[in-house]
Structure 1
């Protein structure tokens, strides 16, 4: 792997583009000082490079059942987008994959910081700053590994995770270190280990939402454990996260007619957002001429549900596009926000047959989404009934949030919630069945050629 993932990063050991605070938010410093990273300021600058560190993969969003494109839209899309949209066997077609390379670049930068911190005399620097930088680096590495696992490894199953292939776990900035694929269990163990180590090091409040804080690491742990279907621990961490920050936006305070109704997350807007990161930019996801919302999904919103106008723009002829990004900008949100954490805790309560608690969380969320005076609290007869209602609202709330693909992989393991997705392009029908190998993306072939790691079966 050193000749591919890391060959474009080797120079970063010696030349780091500094990023600093400018006009109240993180931006590139005009003089872009070049240096060998060795101080706490250097390491903070590496982690504040939001153009690299605050990005999440996007192809899994392209592959979900929340969106569709027309024949003309498909023809106008990038080939990698096209292949992802129809779940082709060879998505990258010999090209490098940003969804693979960028997260590993994040891992590399995090490792540069973690290795560099070991060489610093902690008695000569601020212990608080040292700890926060270390926690930040551990968080970034964990989030990158988590995002990679959602595309390039199988869905987590406790019965097979000890045998299924995981992703290469780079834990050092040494580019000569050989990369291998361990087990999926080892992948998730490393993600959790990094987050557990980061938790006590991070502050209650970060200076910018592009930096993780204490509630964000707890929220990410809740996401990870939900993905692993460990609902007891997911509930524990969701509860801990919401105790620190359980704020929700009342959508009645928003202007649904606005081009971007949600407040901007950066530097510290949008009270629901714990940690801000957008997906890698994709014209396909952002262009109203290429991508629209699944019509059945759109019709599932109640007439008094403000999400119907806050999230979507009516393009006429029964076509709707998404505008409700949680960053308050056109970029697709891929970070951590409280509405998702409420839904995680609600689902876990339902699965534990704590029906009243589950519906309380769901109703707390929904009463902030409906027109004032129109919402009637939902009820459920038992845990299964509650679970069904929560999963329905989960999809409606977390659309365009880099969540649906992981949910499909997880929920397809339960026949009650398994779905088959179809696409119709130029009269050809493409199908993605529950449990299909196509739920695991191929590793870009150039990576296979350089490193010799095992390719995913498609």
Structure 2
């Protein structure tokens, strides 16, 4: 079975479930049961409400990020995949296994392509509605390809991107396609940018639901794409546009002030065994575009903690420490200096306001606007700790490289154990300012002694395609 054929089956089933529960009776009466086919503009609109678009279930980036450590005996009982990811091994999956990094994203690409391809012929609806829905599909496809190329393609390096293998580009919902060629990293990025530039003019100006793509989300994504290409001057205007659009959202979008939400009577209380009572994804006011995955390492898995160097990045007044515990969810207490993350039980990695503020701060710092960079990072910090402690230290604010490093460390403080660091590690590995950095993981014994150390090799900044995918697509090039 080819890659597209395999993924198509899951999409059809998901779409059938969505239509069965959401479509009117007259739709079911004109279409044979079990063969539900999108026909009306409203049907294609419903395809974008599929929960498969939200619950992507790819969390490998958490285990590969360098802010974490592992602890025995919990690590010894972790899945083989988890252990391999933490050790940055070449082979992650068994020969018969699918890659979770591909399963749902490829199903969603099929759906996006179906919408883009078939919508012009859909019945009912206006031309403007068709343009808007197609724009959402194009921007959603862009987000998905950005994720895939950051799993399976090398970090974007202008010197080599034209020849570095990226990911196959599929633009048609065609089950007869059986030959796949990896486009170059440059071609994939150009494809993403082209989709976003086409989509943005027709996207909703106001965010009405975090599950649906809006101008605020697409502008933020385009800024992120340019920054990952090492082009902060092109990224900055899009971050500005994204945050401006988010401020004019039809739904509440704003940073949570932990000084209030974690104060007596605050909405994040009480703090239970799974951490503070953090809002669900659909109610998360910091989420502009909702993509999430379960994060069992902030729930009831004990093998991963933030390591000592990460703990030392936090000031004692940082309220984000309320999301950590010295104790395992079950079993022996952790060695001194290691902290387990407690919640949320899923992590958001679509388009988030904290990410936008820190990425814009990074752009400004790289472009020499140190005052603007300081303001953006402080905008986040004053919502995470008492205002007196949120100010960027005077010794840092006037030094470009030091301030830039402080912003990158703020990203670790904000997103520890949620996978963001892995994608930062990738792009920084080709950044002249940071490319000399070495990344390591430490495995601790229950006594606190070091039981193992693992060093990331440059070739492991990309995932290999599983053997099952290679067997199903002979001739497609794999990563080293």
* Shorter-normalised TM range: 0.7 to 0.9
The answer to whether the 8 Å contact 1:131/1:201 transfers is yes
Q: Aligned-residue CA RMSD in angstroms?
A: 2.7
SS at match of 1:396: helix
Q: Which residue of 1 aligns with 2:141?
A: 141
Q: Which residue of 2 aligns with 1:26?
A: none
1:79-118 matches, within 5 Å, as: 79-94=80-95, 95-118=97-120
What is the aligned residue count? 439
Q: Give the TM-score normalised by the residue count of structure 2.
A: 0.84
User: Partners in 2 of 1:312 and 1:96 — Cα distance?
Assistant: 33
Q: Which residue of 2 aligns with 1:313?
A: 325
1:266-285 matches, within 5 Å, as: 266-267=281-282, 269-279=283-293, 281=294, 283-284=296-297
User: Partners in 2 of 1:103 and 1:453 — Cα distance?
Assistant: 22
Change (3 A) 1:20 1:301: farther
Q: Give the TM-score normalised by the residue count of structure 1.
A: 0.88
SS at match of 2:441: strand
Q: Deviations over 1:320-349 (max 9, x none)?
A: 222353xxxx11222211111111111111
Q: CA deviation at 1:181?
A: 0.8
Q: CA deviation at 1:3?
A: 1.5
1:384-423 matches, within 5 Å, as: 384-414=401-431, 416-417=433-434, 418-423=437-442
User: Partners in 2 of 1:7 and 1:334 — Cα distance?
Assistant: 26
Please, which runs of 5 or more residues in structure 2 have no aligned partner?
A: 23-32, 248-253, 263-267, 328-332, 446-450
1:157-236 matches, within 5 Å, as: 157-177=157-177, 178-236=179-237
Q: CA deviation at 1:364?
A: 1.7
Q: Which structure exhibits the higher relative contact order, with contacts defined as CA atoms closer than 8 Å and separated by 6 or more residues?
A: 2
User: Partners in 2 of 1:130 and 1:82 — Cα distance?
Assistant: 46
2:16 paired with 1:17: yes
User: Partners in 2 of 1:384 and 1:15 — Cα distance?
Assistant: 48
The answer to whether the 8 Å contact 1:100/1:148 transfers is yes
Q: Which residue of 1 aligns with 2:5?
A: 6
Q: Deviations over 1:75-123 (max 9, x none)?
A: 32222222112111211121111112221111111111111203225xx
SS at match of 1:244: helix
User: Partners in 2 of 1:11 and 1:394 — Cα distance?
Assistant: 35
Q: CA deviation at 1:125?
A: 1.2
Q: Of Structure 1 and Structure 2, which has the larger fraction of its residues in helix?
A: 2
SS at match of 1:7: helix
Change (3 A) 1:15 1:352: closer
Change (3 A) 1:236 1:11: closer
2:428 paired with 1:432: no
Q: Which residue of 1 aligns with 2:479?
A: 457
The answer to whether the 8 Å contact 2:112/2:138 transfers is yes
Change (3 A) 1:127 1:118: closer
Change (3 A) 1:118 1:14: farther
2:263 paired with 1:250: no
Change (3 A) 1:383 1:161: same
SS at match of 1:161: coil
The answer to whether the 8 Å contact 1:165/1:184 transfers is yes
Q: CA deviation at 1:15?
A: 7.8
User: Partners in 2 of 1:5 and 1:425 — Cα distance?
Assistant: 42
Q: Deviations over 1:134-174 (max 9, x none)?
A: 12211221111111111111011011101111100111001
